[in-house]
Amino acid sequence: MIELKNVIKKYPNGIVALKGIDLKIEQGEFAYIVGPSGSGKSTLIKTLYREERVTSGIIKVNEYDLMRMTHKQVPYLRRELGIVFQDFRLLPRLTAYENVAYAMEVIEKRPEEIKSRVMEVLEMVGLKDKIRRYPNELSGGEQQRVAIARAITNKPSILIADEPTGNLDPDTSNEIMDIIERINQQNTTVIMATHNQSIVNQYVHRVLTIQQGRLVSDQEEGGYRYED
Ligand code: ADP
Ligand code: ADP
């Protein structure tokens, strides 16, 4: 579960990106974060995986109290999260297979387990026949599939996605959404910041709208309402 109470984030330059966010997301939910550019979506997402510390308030992710958490605990928090970005962020010198395997190697999983799990997740995202390709030999949609496979390989309870379809055409975006939907159906919480109006309207889920650092609407089965 994710819980925020009166979360305020002020950057060192004085910009207050989050102005008192109250929010609860239960295990297994799917929540979009929408809102105009600069409204605080990325900041909110970054606070969840402790890329940014909040200035005040309460922020809890699963069993972790992020306000009280020490630096040493951050990797353990991140093991419970899968994170996907707009620009994929694959390691360019590693193949698709190696990119996914690396996420398991760093937490010292056994080699046999790595082998079978990597093949399992690459098959799940439909890339079994391209495991030896390097990122620059894959299309944008294929790179995002690898990134998703990497994000879920350690079975996170929460998948965090910041504009995952931002660099993809509409058909490819739908294919990526179908994969994210399947992950959500396995009881993984999904939190997805997006500008993609047609996706929000087509794959209907909870919609959290942020404007100027404030949560201005929270709809259980929302559509895309704000004007950009
Ligand atoms: P969004 O993701 O909705 O586009 P952001 O969370 O990126 O919004 O930004 C919210 C506000 O915080 C903007 O005014 C942005 O310029 C500012 N901001 C974002 N990141 C930083 C940072 N690292 N340092 C200072 N200001 C930042
Ligand atoms: P996104 O495409 O996810 O909205 P942004 O363009 O908001 O990302 O931010 C890109 C990077 O620049 C982030 O690391 C963010 O923290 C940083 N950033 C954004 N706005 C500012 C700002 N006003 N001052 C300093 N850094 C910023």
**pLDDT tens digits, 160-202:** 999 999 999 999 999 999 999 999 999 999 999 999 999 999 9
What is the reported pLDDT for 224?
74
Q: What is the pLDDT of residues 139-162, one digit of tens each?
A: 999 999 999 999 999 999 999 999
Q: What is the pLDDT of residues 41-85, one digit of tens each?
A: 999 999 999 999 999 999 999 999 999 999 999 999 999 999 999
- Three-state DSSP state, 90: coil
What is the reported pLDDT for 203?
96
**Ligand 2 centre distance from Cα of residue 77 (Å):** 23
**Ligand 2 centre distance from Cα of residue 87 (Å):** 14
pLDDT over 90 (residue 223): no
- Give Dmax (Cα) for the chain: 50
CA distance 11 to 52: 9
ipTM passes above 0.90: no
39's CB contacts (< 8 A; 6+ apart) are: 210, 211, 212, 213
Q: pTM of the full predicted structure? A: 0.90
Q: What is the DSSP letter of 208?
A: E
Q: What is the DSSP letter of 126?
A: T
Name the band, by pLDDT with cuts 50, 70 and 90, for residue 227: low
Residue having the nearest C-alpha atom to atom 15 of ligand 1: 38
Ligand nearest to the CA of 21: 1
CA distance 45 to 14: 19
CA distance 165 to 23: 24
